[in-house]
Structure 1
């Protein structure tokens, strides 16, 4: 398994290593450059993406599972095919109601993930 190279034209998920974040959450960076990053995040049932904020814009796609999302105090339950958007610096987090995967897109890229 490998990590993806900056600005690589293709990201083959099956060849990209997962990073275990603990507490039932893991992620892998699928592609990125300085301006954009695509990250896949897998959650076990009950796993929590703790409330946090960052200066990046984030758009996320629910690939599978069901999640309770909180963004700036608003709460919604989302499932496969649903999306959400987080403006810079808004407090947000997720709870996996069942096992699932989110696909996160950040701009600019999350240097702290590298």
Structure 2
């Protein structure tokens, strides 16, 4: 069994005020921690990985297929692989949560 403490992984600022940590990964999926500060925007993008998430605190607005969906603490979500999506934090506190990618995102663009 591998254990990856969140505190042991350095955060990467993928875009302004969007902080990501790639955590444990296996053969079929991996885990990512996110913190998206108030006012931050994740530009529309897509990737072949299915993306499942859970919001621990704060609120995010996802933009998918011309619709805006709000996710709040305790909400989970799923985005299909290759589905264009973006998000923004329009709230007053950081949005914090975890995401699972399948297959694993071994070297996402934001790490470069």
Shorter-chain TM range is: 0.7 to 0.9
Partner SS, residue 103 of structure 1: strand
**How far 1:51 sits from its partner (Å)?**
0.8
Alpha-carbon separation, structure 2, partners of 1:20 and 1:53:
18
Q: Runs of 5+ in structure 1 lacking a partner? A: 1-7
Q: 2:103 aligns with which of 95, 108, 111?
A: 108
In the superposition, the TM-score normalised over structure 1's length comes to 0.84
Alpha-carbon separation, structure 2, partners of 1:102 and 1:50:
18
Partner SS, residue 14 of structure 1: helix
Partner SS, residue 107 of structure 2: helix
Cα root mean square deviation, aligned: 1.6
CA contact (8 A) 1:59 1:85 kept: yes
How big is each residue's C-alpha offset from its partner over 1:14-44, in whole Å with a ceiling of 9 and x where there is no partner?
A: 2221112241111111211232110011111
Q: 1:23 aligns with which of 16, 22, 25?
A: 16
Following TM superposition, the consecutive aligned residue runs of length 4 or more in structure 1 with deviations greater than 4 angstroms are none
**How far 1:85 sits from its partner (Å)?**
0.6
